[in-house]
Structure formats: C-alpha cells, structure tokens
Amino acid sequence: MSDLPRPEALFANIDYTPPKADWMDVPVEIKPGRYCYAANPDSVNYVGLPHARKWNPLDDDWKLPENWQQIIFDGLRERLHKFRSFKIFMDICVRCGACADKCHFFIGSGDPKNMPVLRAELLRSVYRGEFKTFGKILGRFAGGRKLTPEVLKEWWYYFFQCSECRRCSVFCPYGIDTAEVTIIGRELLNLLGLNIDWIATPVANCYRTGNHLGIQPHAFFDMIDFFCDDIEDITGIRPEPSFNKKGADILFITPSGDVFADPGTYTCMGYLMLFEYLKREYGLDVTWSTYASEGGNFGFFTSHETMKRLNSKMYMEADRLGVKWILGGECGHMWRVIHQYMDTLNGPDFQSSRMEVPTNPITGTVFKNAASTKMVHIAEFTADLIKHGKLNLNPKRNANVHLTWHDSCNPARGMGLLDEPRFVAKSVVEKFTDMPEGTIREQTFCCGGGAGLNAGENDELRMMGGLPRANAVKYVHEKYGVNMLGCVCAIDRAVLPNSMAYWVPEVSVCGLHELVANALVFPGEKERETDLRGEDLPGMEDE
C-alpha cells in the first residue's frame, strides 16, 4: 500500500466534472493501482479456457488471437440470443442518468466511465456500430463505434472495475443491471483469454482442490483442527466436527476464506461451536466436505459455464454423502449463485432425489422458501433456532461491541436476506445501530472488492470503491460510537478490514457467527475470559 495516497488526498482528488472531450475520444489509460494483473496461463489452461498465454495489460501488444474480432462478434451474437436480459439492456437504455452516481466506484473515483450507464455504453456503442443498421451506416452520429484493440482494452479495464453489486439496477427505471452487462462482457473477454489472475487462479484451485485457496484435504482438516484447539483453550469445549461423512443429515458448505484468514476464521470458529452445541444438545448431524469445500464461486466472475462447473460439486457431494439438505455459510456472491442460479444450472443434472425439503430437525421449521434448491442460509437457520429459544445466549459477552450492519450486495439485491441477520445480531449483542437509510438494505454499498477485485495491486481502486461504505460507517461511529461492522460475506471480511483501516481505523469487522459463538453458553463450559479473538471479555479486563 506504499503508493496509496493518504485518505484526505485521495478524497480531495475526486472530481465529478467530466472531461471536455467526448468520451469516445478519451483513450483508455490503464493506471497502476486500478487494474489487476493478468491471469496466469497455467490457471487458464487448467480449466481448459481458451487462449491461455502470458500477457501484460500495460503492454501495447496483448497477443490477441488473429481472429479476435470474429470471436467477439460471434460470442456477442450468441449471447444476445441466449440472454434476453442482455439484449434488452443493450436496446432500451434512455441514458436518463439515474444510475450515474449510484456506483461506489464512480462515487470514489469520479471516473465518468465508472458511471454504470457509460460502462454499459462501452459495449453498447460497439453493439450499435457493428450490429445495428443505423450505427453501421452513421457510425458516431448514431452512437456507434467499431471494435478496435483500444476499445477492447477499455472493456477490459472497466469491466474489471465493476463489482457486479447491482446497486445501479435498483435505481434504473427499467431495471437495467450493469452486473449482467459486466458478466457478459467478462465472458467475452474470457473467450480471448483476458481474465485477471485474482479470478483465474482461484477458479483453477477450486476446480482441482475444491476451494479457491487451493487447500488440500489434509490441510483443510488441519486448519479446522487448529480452530478446535483454540476453541478448547477459550471455552474448555472441544468441537469434534465430521468430514466427508456419509449418512449425515446436513452438509455444510462455507467460503474457504473463512478457513484461511482473519477475521473470517473467527466466523468459522463460530460455525464449529454452533454445530458442536447443536450436536451435544439436540443430536444434530452436520458434516463438512473437503471436496465441496468452497461456498464462493469465482466461476461466476468468469463465465456462466465456469460457474456451473464449480457449483456442480455442491449437489454432487450432497448426493455422494446422502445428506438431506445443504446448509450454506456466510458469503455474498455464493448466495447470489445459490439463490438465483444453482437450481437452474445444476438442479436437473445433479440434485439427488434423496434430498428433502429442508427442515430444521430441532425446531421442526420447514424452510419452504428453499423447497426446490434445498439449500438454507445459516442466518435463516440460526434465526429460526433463536426464535424458538433453542440457543442459550448471553449477549453481555458482546457488551464491548457496538455493532452496525453491512448488508452484503449479493444477499441484499440477489436474494433479500436483510432481516434474518439483523434478528440474529440483535439477539447476541446489546448495542446495535443501523447506518443511514440509503446506504443499507437494498441500497447497500459494495465493500469495494467484490466480483474478484480484491487483489493487492488494485489497492487504490479498492479504497475508492470502499469510500461510500466506509463513509456511512464513519457516520455511525462518530455519532453513536459504533466500533464493529458486521457482515455475512467472506469477501467483505477480506476487504472491509483494509478499507476500515484506511478510512475509519477505529472500527473492526466481524462475521455474524463470531458474535453468536461469543454469546453462546455451553452447558458445563469453563468461565470464558476472552472472546474468540483472544481479547478480554467485558468485566475480565482486570483479572
């Protein structure tokens, strides 16, 4: 982060005045700090995606295949036919500008090509210029452009500055969703081997080892085992999780980020403690899989097909183990995929007929809203448990926490998981304050690193994109003393700590089940002196 300017300087540089020249005349300039490194060819090769090669975005020559234009045209034509969303979004935008200042990357950077409308126009102009009669004849006069290498570079630069958060689509009078345009845009770029490494390598890892981080089964076991050691130290209770267990009732799948890095690890410890509690108290049989050890899906940021290939493991593993249904951990885009794609993509091919409509065996609640996909969000599950009084909770243990809630983009706008996590959170903490209207729920802001953009090298972009979220946190921090930002997303837990350290250093980040586990009282546990982070519990500071 050495080249990153101070927050005040970064902020002072935001200028919403567009350049004098027409946007089609402003050449793309790929700026360090705002782009991610090119995909490692080995990763692209591993999953059999085309045109793997070493290339550098800063070079003039991107070593494109000779017929690259034809590949794009064919790909575009095919997708216009396969995706009505894409075709309609290419055709009906009136450029009213309602979306313009809704994008966190625009708000934080002022770059006009980060206005959702203009990001889409980058592609739309080529659609008009190469596919539509008016545009072909009249060219610029009808808003049409030809597909040149410069235009392609511009696509690449700006489609990897969109985190597919869908905030713009909430405000669009026709529901035009830039995420949809970016998804197709990236899919086209992938036809030419133009992925970024922060997406391509996790995809290859996930394909091979079952998770983005490339954790092999023995290491996955060790990491969980290590959390169990910590939990034992803190609570005196040692969880005994099961792995790849045939005949278990429920398969649990969470993003591997939770296994790997703080503060997600505390959330992971939270899951382990919850399941141990439920096993001891009610005999719940949950198993973890090392094969389907990834909730997230970076395939979603590559192409629909790659998303399908990675997602298939969930149903395949549920079938192999013979579980009744799947429980999913705290992750953002994972839930967009599960809620809106999974059953369509892989339900017909891989969903086992032995799976049942999810029922919480402890409360008897039938999750009718998951009747077809047969996968339940852990916030739904825990909310149900708490509502039925099945957990012994002591919120005083979280008395040091003044929580605010970050609705992660995908669960908010691609699912509508808003009040379940709030209910859980308010049951386990004493102080809870929401951020202002317009920055939460369906209007929530992206953390700044979604859709595969949480690489190290694009730190400036991430801090710019993180500004709107951090700004709202700062408001409740200064006004109400909020000191903790809760979320249900592993990417958030990776991105927001940096963004908070940069914009609001006094606020930390946590997952929901970290707070649940801190409050959860096991029968016969020893008196806890610290929380899962090893920090003194309230009232234990002096001892």
Partner 1 sequence: MKALYSLFLVFALAALALVGAGALGMEKAFGLYIPFLAVAVFVVGFCMRVVDWGKSAVPFCIPTTCGQQESLPWIKQSTIENPSTTGGVVMRMLLEVLLFRSLFRNTKVDLHEGTKVTYSSSKWLWLGALAFHYSFLVIVLRHMRFFTEPVPGIIAGIEAMDSMLQIGAPTLYLTDLVFVAAVTYLFIRRVVVPQIRYISLVQDYFPLFLILGIALSGIFMRYFAKVDIISVKQLAMGLVTFSWNVPEGIGVIFYIHMFLVSVLLAYFPLSKLMHMGGVFLSPTRNMNCASRKFRHVNPWKFENVHYHTYEEYEDEFREKMVEKDLPVDKPLAEGAE
Stretch of residues binding partner 1 (CB under 8 A), selected from 69-77, 110-118, 447-455, 532-540: 110-118
Residues 111-130 that bind partner 1 (CB under 8 A): 112, 115, 117-118, 121
Is 426 a binding residue for partner 1 by CB under 8 A? The answer is no
Question: Shortest distance, CB of residue 463 to partner 1, whole angstroms?
Answer: 11
| Rounded Cα gap, residues 351 and 373, in angstroms | 8
CB of 27 to partner 1, least distance (A): 16
Output the smallest distance, CB 542 to partner 1, in A.
37
Asked if residue 354 binds partner 1 (CB under 8 A), the reply is no
- Using CB under 8 A, which of 202, 210, 239, 296 touches partner 1? 210
Q: Is 320 in the site for partner 1 (CB under 8 A)?
A: yes
| Closest residue by Cα to residue 504 from 375, 382, 404 | 404
SS3 491: helix
How would you classify residue 367: left for phi > 0, otherwise alpha for psi between -120 and 50, otherwise beta?
beta
Distance CA 543, CA 527 (A): 13
Paired residues of 520 in beta bridges: 393
Contact map string, positions 190 to 209, toward partner 1, x by CB under 8 A: -----------------xxx
Q: Does 8 bind partner 1 (CB under 8 A)?
A: yes
Spell out the residues 6+ positions from residue 370 whose beta carbon is closer than 8 angstroms to its own: 325, 357, 358, 376, 380
Does position 73 bind partner 1 by CB under 8 A?
no
82 binds partner 1 per the rule CB under 8 A = yes
Residue closer to partner 1 (CB basis): 104 or 397: 104
Of these, 45, 69, 312, 359, which contacts partner 1 (CB under 8 A)?
312
Residue entry with tokens 């992750």: 331
Q: Residue 161 corresponds to which amino acid?
A: Q
Binding mask 427-466 for partner 1 (x = CB under 8 A): -----------xx-xxx-----------------------
For partner 1, the binding residue among 280, 347, 359, 434 (CB under 8 A) is: 347
Among 93, 401, 447, 455, which residue sits at the site for partner 1 (rule: CB under 8 A)? 93
- Position among 43, 256, 290, 458 found at the interface with partner 1 (CB under 8 A): 290
Check binding of 365 to partner 1 (CB under 8 A).
Answer: yes
Binding region for partner 1 (CB under 8 A) out of 28-36, 55-63, 363-371, 515-523: 363-371
At what angle are helices 149-159 and 178-191 packed, to 10 degrees? 130
Check if the beta carbon of residue 374 is closer than 8 Å to that of residue 408: no
Choose among 394, 404, 391: nearest CA to 518: 394
Restricting to residues 379-398, name those near partner 1 by CB under 8 A. Answer: 380, 383-384, 387
3 state SS of 144: coil
Residues 190 and 303: beta-carbon distance below 8 Å: yes
539: left (phi over 0), alpha (psi -120 to 50) or beta: left
Q: With contact defined as beta carbons under 8 Å apart, do 418 and 407 qualify?
A: yes
Residues 134-173 contacting partner 1, CB under 8 A: 134, 141-143, 166, 169-173
Q: How far is the CB of 190 from partner 1 (least distance, A)?
A: 15
50 prior amide bond cis, ω within 30: no
